[in-house]
Amino acid sequence: MTHAPSGPRDMHDDGAFHSRPGAAAGGAASTAPVVLITGASSGIGRCCAEYLHGRGFRVYGTSRRAPESGDGSAGFRMIGMDVTSDESVRRAVELVLAQEGRIDVVLNNAGDGIAGAVEDTSIEEAKQQFETNFFGALRVCRAVLPSMRARGAGLIANVSSLGGLVGLPFQGLYSASKFALEGATEALRMELRPHGVRAVLIEPGDFRTGFTAQRRKVAAAQDGSPYAGRFARALATMEKDESHGADPLQVARLLERLIGTRSPRPRYKVGGFAQTFTIGLRKVLPQKLVEYLVMASYDIS
């Protein structure tokens, strides 16, 4: 699906970006918001990068495999960044600041997933999950915030998950990493309030992306595991739901809307209605009933 560019946007004193009527998508580059998107080589990150680039934003996507000097073959510019490395994150952020003078928006999207029972997950596997999903986002936040605070403006959108609101069976450490990101972002919002920088959580459900193929099973999730049968059923359900998931364009459109929102809410759920509605019920239903519904949805009740 294609969309006509609305042109670059200007940042107003309220910290949000608003459309500037009559601007061409390729013009006035100095006023077009600069967006940094981690994990932009595929899936949600790439969709957001392509969409915002087409809407006139100046987009830098990151990937561990991209050249650090940058690559414009994707339309938007791809640069190298390994979110598990302090030095790699620092170099990438400095590159964008040197090229553009500022970073207006960050989408912390880089992440991966492991699957397996909590008991079957080694400490090293758990640390690796947090290294990307939690500490990776933290590294990027720490790298971009000094320049945002100095300008008194900016938006950080951290990609969590509906699994950051409810623990997912056999994705316990993935959920734990997202729970951690949720808590840190809540605190970050309050800390940044007097500095003019906004922070939000985007909580996707299942989307049709490469995440399914990239998910890793923990080493101990073998036939000899006492959890093997239920794990196999849960994993099959996960993969089926993801293969029929929502279009990641939903997230791209949400991000554009958040960029233009003066005072965003702390969190935004996005995805299929059934999933977002069910997760929303956790606020009104007894916890044991929510637990049963989650187990039933994974065919392990």
Q: Rounded distance, CA 200 to CA 284, Å?
A: 23
Q: Which of 51, 60, 63, 174 is catalytic?
A: 174
Q: Which of 60, 175, 178, 227 is catalytic?
A: 178
For residue 214, give both structure tokens: 């990239």
Q: Which of 41, 63, 177, 297 is catalytic?
A: 41
C-alpha of 85 from chain center = 18
Q: Which of 51, 60, 63, 160 is catalytic?
A: 160
Catalytic (active site) residue 292 = no
Catalytic (active site) residue 41 = yes
- Three-state DSSP class for residue 58: strand
For residue 298, give both structure tokens: 């994974």
Give CA separation, 257 vs 25, 51, 52, 65, 250, in Å: 18, 12, 11, 30, 11
Q: Rounded distance, CA 184 to CA 134, Å?
A: 9
Q: Rounded distance, CA 104 to CA 102, Å?
A: 6
User: What is the set of active-site residues?
Assistant: 41, 160, 174, 178
